[in-house]
Amino acid sequence: MPQSIRLDPTILVIFGAGGDLAWRKLIPALYNLGLDKLLPERFAIVGVGRRPLPVADFRVRLRQGIEQFSRRPLANEELWRRFADNFCYVSEDLADHASGEALAACLAEIESAWGHRANRVYYLAVPPGVMAPAAAMLQRLGVCRDCIHDRLVIEKPFGRDLDSARELNGFLGGLFAEAQIYRIDHYLGKETVQNILAFRFANSLFEPIWNRRYIDHVQITVAETVGIGDRGDYYDQAGALRDMVQNHLLQILCLVAMEPPISFDADEIRNKKVDVLRAIRPLAAGEIHRAAVRGQYRKGQVLGEAVPGYRQERKVSPESTTETYVALMLHIDNWRWQGVPFYLRTGKRLPAKVSEVNIIFRSPPHQFFPSAAVESWQQNRIVIRIQPEEGIGTRIQVKQPGTRLLLGTADMQFRYREAFKAPAPEAYETLLLDVIRGDATLFMRADQVESAWQVVSPILEAWEAVPPADFPDYPAGSWGPEAAELMPARQGHNWLQPSEPEEE
């Protein structure tokens, strides 16, 4: 059980408290933090929604979310009652420029009862079009003026392209200090993603070989078996490049490629990430068709079940040209990584749900073994598995048992569940606690968001100028379009299919 920590009184205000994010992720995460005694002793959750809702009904819905989605069940009625006593709910119409009085009164009432000015965290769990009105309301009411104690949490997507991201950053920067704004990417809260820094910089075994001299190429895969569910209206306007690559995959790339920081200071870590994004070689218009592949799934079978094509999904245009698959080849033009390709891919309706990073090393410079001994030679590699089986593995060459010299591959594995015998916290547990503590290390700065958009904007512009002629171009249940296989093959590489986790 984690040790309790002493934190200042805190009020968490959730805009969009009736939505799926609060129901499925935020409240279950807060419940688990409460079980671990990691929340402040004085802690309140204020739900903000458009429609009026009795607080008793609000609590019932949140309890249902915990029962369905928490990694740990409700312990007992007494613990639930104590947790639910922290809830209150106010109705506000953000489209009304006179709104906000109910929220301001609620905050004042809580702080009056505590006799103390609380830290306030305003979580905008709302659609992109509602973020600006919510932020403007907070500024108008003057309830988010303290740069030390008041924080604003914003979910992705942060903009739709570089221009809109700059516009949103400019708008928010005119209302709040940059230090108050926490742009959240839940991937950065995952244990194995955070462990990339520890793996690289806490072990002298790996950092000296983490460069172009020893590493041949890097592959980052984030594959999903699911389609788009009920998100068709959002996803058909976004696509895989905006929805996954611009944030999740580029964040992972930054952790893999960044230079050693001089300290664990939040801005120092984020400075190193921005350096990576700025060093990514821009894709010229004539290169995009070779270095950026898009695809869209048609009907097929995933995990033995027949599934429809993307154009048959709910709320999707039957003539949609939105990509559900992206593969990129990027280069980082700096001293450490010059000439090392980074391959990124992500897609819907692929054969497995898996997120992992493969670091593939160069072959030894001289091969003195007999040719018959190395028939199954494979390059050494490190596999950082983010999900579903969190862990890190290395694949090496060894002599197979027997009287003759024959080399084969062997894996050395570290798995969280085996090493620590305790479930890892969910990503939102880590990130919410960091916001409450005021630690911005795992959150994106304005320049980082804009630098990420600068990487993908040329691709977006090229794709929008020339609609695809062959969509849909990969069957559901496959690893994507054929063009994606050709991209690394031109460099003498091939995609590594993620290994299935072993059964317990």
Place of tokens 């928010």: 172
CA 164 to CA 446: how far, in whole Å?
A: 12
Pair 381, 358: CB distance under 8 Å: yes
Please identify which of the residues 248, 289, 331, 493 carries the catalytic annotation: 248
CA 193 to CA 389: how far, in whole Å?
A: 13
Residue 469 CB contacts under 8 Å (≥ 6 apart), including other chains: none
Burial of 68 (0-12, 13-18, 19+ CB in 10 A): exposed
β-sheet with 341-347: strand ranges across: 292-295, 325-331, 341-347, 215-223, 354-361, 381-387, 391-399, 407-415
Angle of the 27-35 helix axis to the 77-84 helix axis, nearest 10: 120
DSSP 264-319: --HHHHHHHHHHHHHHBPPPPTTTHHHHEEEE-EESEEETTEEE--GGGSTT--TT
Tokens linked to 75: 């312990």
Tokens linked to 249: 């995959």
H runs (alpha helix) in 48-190: 55-69, 77-84, 101-114, 128-141, 162-175
Place of tokens 């990129």: 328
Pair 207, 260: CB distance under 8 Å: yes
H runs (alpha helix) in 115-265: 128-141, 162-175, 191-201, 232-238, 240, 250-257
Q: Is the peptide bond before 388 cis (omega within 30 degrees of 0)?
A: yes
The DSSP letter of residue 179 is G
**Is 289 one of the annotated active-site residues of the chain?**
no
Strand partners, 124: 15, 154
Pair 117, 111: CB distance under 8 Å: yes
Burial of 170 (0-12, 13-18, 19+ CB in 10 A): exposed
Residues carrying an active site annotation = 248
